[in-house]
């Protein structure tokens, strides 16, 4: 009987920052397909929907009630499968430096993370459901609120997004 040769190799490779995994994968991140069930279309609020004033200079998505997994790419979708957020919305320099989002287990910690990026009054929404464990669906009202607040503060391009997980 031949002996079984096994080896375990540990490699330390930075995910964020210059020379990191995100920078190496940047061209592919820009074209990651949306999850199954999504339309692939960008969200546009209905023209008949009156825009209510919404404040928020960052986004906290509470997915703590769902089986959600952090991933290199997390999408935020509407009930209709329209795309609200993915790495294509983020400035390249920010995507390389910080990645596309952060994770924590408490809303207060999420606010502290966003404060480090200049956000003082983040919008907080609760996920309706999770698709394929890494994509989040939000309600129609929350989708409009995110869209409206982002028009004013452009926080999605600044990756000022934190997911609150279990």
What is the pLDDT of the chain when averaged over all its residues? 86
Percent of the chain with pLDDT over 70: 92
**What residues have CB less than 8 Å from 52, skipping those under 6 apart?**
144, 145, 148
- Of the ranges 2-11, 47-56, 91-100, 140-149, the best mean pLDDT one: 140-149
Q: What is the pLDDT of residues 64-89, one digit of tens each?
A: 999 999 988 899 999 999 999 988 88
**Model pLDDT, residue 86:** 85
Bridge-based pairing of strands 59-62 and 123-126 is parallel
Question: Residue 30: what pLDDT?
Answer: 65
Give CA–CA dist 163/52, Å, rounded: 24
**pLDDT of the residue at 78:** 94
Tokens representing 41?
């279309």
For residue 14, the tally of other CB atoms under 10 A from its CB is 11
- Distance (Å, whole) CA 92 – CA 22: 10
């Amino acid at each position: 009987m031949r002996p079984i040769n096994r080896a375990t190799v540990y490699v330390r490779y930075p995910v964020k920052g210059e020379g990191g995994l995100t920078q190496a994968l940047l061209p592919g991140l820009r074209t990651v397909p949306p999850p199954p069930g999504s339309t692939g279309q960008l969200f546009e609020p209905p023209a008949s929907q009156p825009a209510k004033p919404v404040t928020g200079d960052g986004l906290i998505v509470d997915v703590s009630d769902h089986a959600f997994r952090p991933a290199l790419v997390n999408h935020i979708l509407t009930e209709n499968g329209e795309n609200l957020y993915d790495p294509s919305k983020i400035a390249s320099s920010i995507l390389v430096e910080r990645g596309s989002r952060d994770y924590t287990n408490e809303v207060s910690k999420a606010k502290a993370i966003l404060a480090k990026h200049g956000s003082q009054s983040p919008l907080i929404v609760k996920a309706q459901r999770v698709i394929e464990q890494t994509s989040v669906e939000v309600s129609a009202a929350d989708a409009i609120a995110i869209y409206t607040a982002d028009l004013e503060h452009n926080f999605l391009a600044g990756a000022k997004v934190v997911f609150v997980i279990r």
